[in-house]
Amino acid sequence: MKHVKIFNNFMKDTVNLNETRLNKMQIASSAVVKVVKESSSFSDLYIEDSPQGSYGHRTIIKPLPAKEFDADIVIFLNKHDDWEAKDYIKELYSIFKNNPIYKDKVHYNTRCICLDYAGDFHVDVVPCIVTSKYFFLEEKNYFVCNRATNEFEETDPEAYKKWIKDKNAVVKNNNLIKSIRLFKYLRDVKKTFSCKSILLTTLISNSVQNIFDALSDDFKDLPTSFKTLIDRLDLYLQANATMPQIENPVQPSETFTRHWDELKYQNFRSFIHKYKGWVDDAFDEPDRELSIKKWRKIFGGNFHAVVMKSESSISNESNCLDSLLNESCTYISIPSHCIPHKWIEADPVQDITVNVHYKDQTRTQFINKLIFGSTVPKKYNVKFEIANSLPEDSQIYWQVTNTGSEAGLANQLRGTFIEGEAVREESTSYKGNHFVEAFVVKSGYLLARSGKVIISIGN
């Protein structure tokens, strides 16, 4: 099954870069461009600027914990008669190094300078030299500057950005852009293959055919688009037993596979083939509950998090489950402080069951079993117990994530991972819907997880 609504919520809550971070990056990028435009070194050379990379192509996604997101800003410049390629990078570095706001943020990269907003994001500022191809025509040549080799390297970033935009227009409803974000999320969460964003974006977009796809149903919604694209990508990879040369579609002299080797290609080819099978299986599964479980196998436990609309006690667990499967529920946003796990996922990650019991704090024994959808009062104790047998020498981690204003004011939103035992106790202190999940890890691999248990705490 497709679960269009679930996919849309998954994008909004988990995959997409949130508006606060995006606005912060846009403000920082504008300030950086202003410094370049107003500098004595570049004020006479400046032509225009343009966001590029994942930022410019709109394929940027929310980073994993302890990871940064980045903005690539290309500064188009007229050629300086006395400068070599390396001089553009050196002069750019100098104006930021001499600026008190940026002096501790700036460092060199090969073709740009980087401004590091520590612990959050960084901005890469790329000088691009514009020259006329023929003095009597409007056609231009574009060159980035390689500081290491002191060479000008031909490129055309605006043409590539237009190529992505045109492909996305064929697919309609931004389903190509959204699908690329899902591929990048799969790469970052699974950690099973490596593929630079520019290469991954090109491989995926190459499979969109301008003439036929505009009239087909292969991209009618997001899950259908993602399935179509991974099927086509797998078909291409299986037809190429060894690493092909992936060219820049608007600059054939530039190859994106320079970042790859045969070993990385074969690994990528193998895992895309595996995930393609999982996607087809989840998409074709007619049983709603099983289909959601199969999609979660692909995208992890943040796919499809729900609570019931009513917080009143529900005495019949089967009725509650029927209600859930009929979508008579509201989707809860997974808050940003509920961090994704950091482990490599086993193939497959097993499901484990957590039994939940609660009691009044004046009592000694946990007698009452928590029924999904029911509400627990404040000042109760809740016990979470893993019901399954676990592998020897494995570690158990618990993630407790609180929500709501009461927990926020008390600085108790939590959301990190705590190593523990098969049984964990918590107290009910803050009103709201809270999440508890158990993870089983061995030698850095995630072997099993429970999925998020939702605890609704009332007054």
Q: Which residues pair with 248 in a beta bridge?
A: 251
Q: What is the DSSP letter of 14?
A: I
In this predicted model, what pLDDT tens digit does every residue of 420-452 receive, in sequence order?
999 999 999 999 889 999 999 999 999 999 888
Task: Quote the CA–CA distance of 413 and 425 in Å, as a whole number.
Answer: 17
Q: Which two tokens stand for residue 58?
A: 């709109």
Strands 354-360, 121-132: pairing is unpaired
What pLDDT was estimated at residue 138? Answer: 67
SS3 for 155?
strand
**Looking at the predicted structure, is the pLDDT value of residue 149 above 80?**
yes
- Quote the pLDDT of residue 372: 60
The full 3-state SS of 377-433, as one line of letters, equals: CCCEEEEEEECCCCCCCCEEEEEEECCCHHHHHCCCCEEEEEEECCEEEEECCCCEE
pLDDT digits (tens, 9 = 90+) for 270-291: 999 999 999 999 999 999 989 9
Residue 158 has pLDDT above 50, yes or no: yes
Q: Which of 367, 384, 364, 365 is nearest to 428 (CA)?
A: 384
Contact present, 203 and 246 (Cβ < 8 Å): yes
pLDDT at 330: 42
Mean pLDDT of the 378-394 span: 92
Residue 185: alpha-carbon gap to chain centroid:
4
Q: How confident is the model at residue 135 (pLDDT cuts 50, 70, 90)?
A: low
Q: How many CB atoms lie within 10 A of CB 137?
A: 8
The pLDDT of residue 411 is above 50: yes
Burial class (CB in 10 A: 0-12, 13-18, 19+), 184: buried
Q: Which domains does the chain have, with CATH numbers?
A: 4-155 (3.30.460.10), 160-283 (no CATH), 305-457 (2.60.40.10)
- Taking 80 as the threshold, does the pLDDT of residue 343 lie above it? yes
DSSP helix/strand/coil, 231: helix
Judged against a pLDDT cut of 70, whether residue 332 lies above it is answered with no
**Three-class SS of residue 340?**
coil
Per-residue pLDDT at 187 exceeds 90: yes
The DSSP result for 27-65, as a single string, is HHHHHHHHHHHTSTTTTTTEEEEEEEHHHHHT--BPPPT
Residue 426 pLDDT: 94
Report which residue type is found at 422: A
What is the per-residue pLDDT across 216-254, written as a single tens digit (0 to 9) for each? Answer: 999 999 999 999 999 999 999 999 999 999 999 999 888
Q: What is the mean pLDDT of residues 64-82?
A: 89
**Contact of 396 with 420, CB cutoff 8 Å:** yes
**pLDDT of 199 strictly over 90:** yes
Phi then psi for residue 115, to 5 deg, are -110, 115
Tell me the average pLDDT of the chain.
Answer: 88
Q: What is the pLDDT of residues 353-375, one digit of tens each?
A: 899 999 888 888 887 787 665 78
Per-residue pLDDT at 326? 37
Per-residue pLDDT tens digits for 399-410: 999 998 999 999
Q: Please report the pLDDT score of residue 406 as a whole number.
A: 92
SS3 369: strand
Q: Give the strand pairing for 414-420 and 46-52.
A: unpaired
Q: How far apart are CA 245 and CA 201, in angstroms?
A: 15
Least confident segment among 104-113, 322-331, 403-412: 322-331
Could you give the CA distance from residue 441 to residue 395 in angstroms, rounded to a whole number? Answer: 5
Q: Are 60 and 17 in contact (CB under 8 A)?
A: yes
* pLDDT (tens digit per residue) in 93-103: 999 999 999 99
